[in-house]
Amino acid sequence: MAGNSNLRTAKSVKNDEFYTEISDVEKELKHYRNHFKDAVVLCNCDDPEWSSFWRYFHLNFEFLGLKKLISTHYHETEPTYKMEYEGGNDNDTTVGVITHLKTNGDFRSPECVELLDEATIVVTNPPFSIARDDFVPLLLEHNKKFIIVGDLNWCSYKTF
C-alpha cells in the first residue's frame, strides 16, 4: 500500500513525473536490440541528467549500433535544452552536444516535433496524464516506431 500512496499523492497534485529505473529499462529493451541498429533514438520526455533511458542507450551506443541518441529536457516555464550523442565515449553519460531550445522542451513544440521527424524510434516514459490524448497520437501522426512505459490499461483505449 505504501507505493500506492505515492501514486495517489501524485494524482492529487497533478504531478506524474516518475522515473524508470535502469534495471527495468535493461530488462525490457534487451528484447528489441534489432530495432536499434543504425537508428536515431529519441528520448523526448527524458532529462539526460536523470533518465535511465538516456543512460542505457549511451552506455550501449556502440553495442546496439546506434546512429544517434537525442534527449530533450523539459521545464514548465523556462527554455531548456536537447542533448545529442553520436558516439565516442559511451561510458561517460555526460558526453554529448547540448543545444539550447527556444521553448521549454515540450514534446509538442515545433522544435521537438522536428526532432521527432529526425528520429527512427522513440523510447521514453511519457507523462501519463497526457500520453493517451497528446503523446501517442503525435507518434502515430508522424508514423514513428515507439517503445513507451505506460499503464497496462492503455491497451484498452481506442487511441491504442
| pLDDT tens digits along 84-128 | 999 999 999 999 999 999 999 999 999 999 999 999 999 999 988
Give CA–CA dist 72/63, Å, rounded: 23
Q: Which residue matches cell numbers 559511451?
A: 90
Q: Are strands 40-43 and 121-124 parallel, antiparallel or unpaired?
A: parallel
b (16+ CB within 10 A) / e for 92-118: ebeebeeeebebbbbbebebbbebbee
What is this structure's pTM? 0.85
Compute how many other C-beta atoms are within 10 angstroms of the C-beta atom of residue 55.
Answer: 18
Torsional sign, CA 149, 19, 128, 108:
negative
Given a cut of 50, the residues of the chain with pLDDT beneath it are 1, 4-17
